[in-house]
Chains A and B, each alone.
Chain A
Amino acid sequence: MIESARIRQTKEKCFAMMLRVSLLICAGTLIFLLGSIFVKGIGAISLDFIFTPSKDFGKSGGIFYQIMGSLLMVFVAAALVIPLAIGTSLFQYALNTRTGIGYFLEQSLYALNAIPSITYGIFGLIFFVNVLNTGISWFVGSMILAIMMLPTTTLSTYQAMVAIPKIYHENAAALGLTKTEIMRRVTLPQSFHGIVTGSLIGLARAIGETAPIMFIATAFSGVSVPKSLVEPVSTLPTHILELAQQSTDPQALQNAWGASLILVLLVGSFGLLALLARSRFSRRSPK
């Protein structure tokens, strides 16, 4: 008896130890990464850096147009994806089935989520730039980013819908609301936090992407704010890539860290907004 108790205790200690080590690895990596970006990047950052255009392939000047380009592309992508995500998740929700089309749709979303981002880039290059002959265009880039955001946004919205207690639907139905009215008055308002968090998480991911937009939407230099849909922009990730390629130059390296810090801050603020939205708009459960 005593023997087995001791073994049990040892096992438990080992397990607790393992948990601590994995936590340490995760948190440590994160802190190390963010910490080094912060330490190395903070020196480059000034109001000038944020608000002036880059010069000399980024070696001097700031990153104003890169920030603008990134924000423009992801916000337009979000504007494209939100209606689509709401439609898709409503459709899936209304089907209310784990088989047939509903199942196929859900699996497609997961599959879409797993596609490597460079594949999207190549697809965009072949389909839009070569076949449709759009040329390098930020709008095409936004469309590609929208497709990449679709699974996250849709799944988050759908899960918020599924989490609404059935009793709300029954109460609405008992008041004589049609299925469409129930969707509009109950399902949509109560899954609003899912739509917001889903699109913010999607935004946070999309703003850091390089591969899908590199060939189709961005140019490395000589761009400003675009005046039409079919102009290239420059974005933070592609700019960082370009600076990293000149890393032998200390000034370029410094600016690369600075741009990285700004990018991380943007991603972080989207994540923070998502958290806020979740706590603020989340459905209060019935008492």
Chain B
Amino acid sequence: MSPAKLSLVSDNQSSNPDVEAHSIRLDDFSAYYGKNCIISDVNLKLPNKGVTCLIGPSGTGKSTILRWLNRINEDTENASFSGTIKVLGRDFISGYPDVTELRRRVGMVFQQPCVFPCSIYDNMLMGLRGRKLSEMQARDSVEQGLKSASLWDEVSHRLETRADALSLGQQQRLCLARALVLKPDVLLLDEPTASIDPVSSRAIEDLVMSLGNKISVVMVTHNIGQAKRISDHVVFICDGKVVEQGPRTHMFSSHCSAKTKTYITEEFCDC
């Protein structure tokens, strides 16, 4: 294993052959809030590398899927599931008795930017606090993370100022940078560009594409043009079911199903 790969891929990944093929695998997965079935019998296989875009109308359960992949929904009242998810070759419940390990390996950026009311620097170190880092190592990680989210140039001179003074777009990139310092193997992005301007949004798109060369990125988006620009793989979800999935070239070609075509061209779905 080359040093470059070492830094991005953790050890247990190499020992499991199944992992090489799929970073995430859902088998007959259903999710519920109370008695309401939000997602029913979803089967998905996401490759180890590349950008997967989840598209579909509002309220169809895209966020719900993401929120189960790193078990954030475990702490949500009345949320439950059936079926199995495998994350990096291990069952997402029994394979990760320590949920924090799963969450460190599966990074997540939420739809709403949310920075902690402390300095930019402290925000960046939030996830690293448990590890014993020297001052130097910490500085390095912060710098690397901010650079990879293309935020370093804007904030390098004011790392000690409060993070909530940043603009929304900067806050969202800070959230991304904060997730990236943990060097996740999978990155979940829930409409990361929904609340920000076109320029920041392009910066995030570029970043997502370059991340896709190294790790698996799962991104929810309402912006069809964006999905077309950056995805390798597209999953179209409607009414809690996967209507169609496939490589970008297929989904945005004339060979896709009628429903997908309607949604992609008219952003409307009748299911």
If the complex has contacts A175-B179, A177-B126, A189-B118, are A287 and B164 also in contact, measured as CB distance less than 8 A? Answer: yes
If the complex has contacts A171-B175, A181-B129, A185-B126, are A176 and B104 also in contact, measured as CB distance less than 8 A? Answer: yes
A176→B101 contact, CB < 8 A: yes
CB closest chain-A residue, reference B70: A174
B110→A167 contact, CB < 8 A: yes
If the complex has contacts A167-B110, A286-B112, A287-B164, are A176 and B118 also in contact, measured as CB distance less than 8 A? Answer: no
CA distance A174 to B114 in the complex (A): 12
CB closest chain-B residue, reference A286: B114
Partner of A175, one of B75, B164, B178: B178
Interface of chain A residues 157 through 188 with chain B (CB within 8 A): 167-178, 181, 185-186
A173→B104 contact, CB < 8 A: no
Interface of chain A residues 164 through 220 with chain B (CB within 8 A): 167-178, 181, 185-186, 189-190
Answer yes or no: A284 CB below 8 A from chain B CBs: yes
A175→B182 contact, CB < 8 A: yes
Q: Most chain-B CB neighbours within 10 Å: which of A177, A186, A190? A: A177
Answer yes or no: B225 CB below 8 A from chain A CBs: no
CB closest chain-B residue, reference A174: B108
Number of interface residues, chain B, beta carbon within 8 A: 28
Answer yes or no: B268 CB below 8 A from chain A CBs: no
B130→A168 contact, CB < 8 A: no
Answer yes or no: A59 CB below 8 A from chain B CBs: no
Answer yes or no: A40 CB below 8 A from chain B CBs: no
Residues of B within 8 A of A189 (CB): 117-118
Residues of A within 8 A of B179 (CB): 174-175
Number of interface residues, chain A, beta carbon within 8 A: 21
Using an 8 Å CB-CB cutoff, how does the interface string of A43-83 with B read, 1 for contact, 0 for none? 00000000000000000000000000000000000000000
Answer yes or no: B159 CB below 8 A from chain A CBs: no
Interface of chain B residues 71 through 113 with chain A (CB within 8 A): 72, 75, 100-101, 103-104, 107-108, 110, 112-113
Answer yes or no: A283 CB below 8 A from chain B CBs: yes
In whole Å, how far is A76's beta carbon from the nearest beta carbon of chain B?
A: 32
In whole Å, how far is A182's beta carbon from the nearest beta carbon of chain B?
A: 10
B117→A174 contact, CB < 8 A: no
Residues of A within 8 A of B118 (CB): 189
CA distance A171 to B108 in the complex (A): 8
A176→B103 contact, CB < 8 A: yes
Answer yes or no: B59 CB below 8 A from chain A CBs: no
A177→B127 contact, CB < 8 A: yes
A174→B164 contact, CB < 8 A: no
B110→A174 contact, CB < 8 A: yes
CA distance A189 to B126 in the complex (A): 13
CA distance A186 to B179 in the complex (A): 17
Residues of chain B having any CB pair with chain A under 8 Å: 70, 72, 75, 100-101, 103-104, 107-108, 110, 112-118, 126-127, 129-130, 164, 168, 171, 175, 178-179, 182
Q: Report the 5 A-B pairs with minimum CB-CB distance, sorted nearest first.
A: A175-B127, A176-B104, A174-B108, A176-B103, A176-B100
15 further contact pairs, Cβ within 8 A, besides A175-B104, A284-B117: A167-B110, A169-B75, A170-B75, A171-B175, A172-B116, A173-B72, A174-B72, A174-B108, A175-B178, A175-B179, A175-B182, A176-B101, A177-B126, A286-B114, A287-B168
Q: What are 15 A-B pairs with beta-carbon distances under 8 A?
A: A171-B116, A173-B103, A174-B70, A174-B110, A174-B179, A175-B103, A175-B104, A176-B130, A177-B100, A178-B130, A185-B126, A190-B117, A283-B117, A284-B117, A286-B114
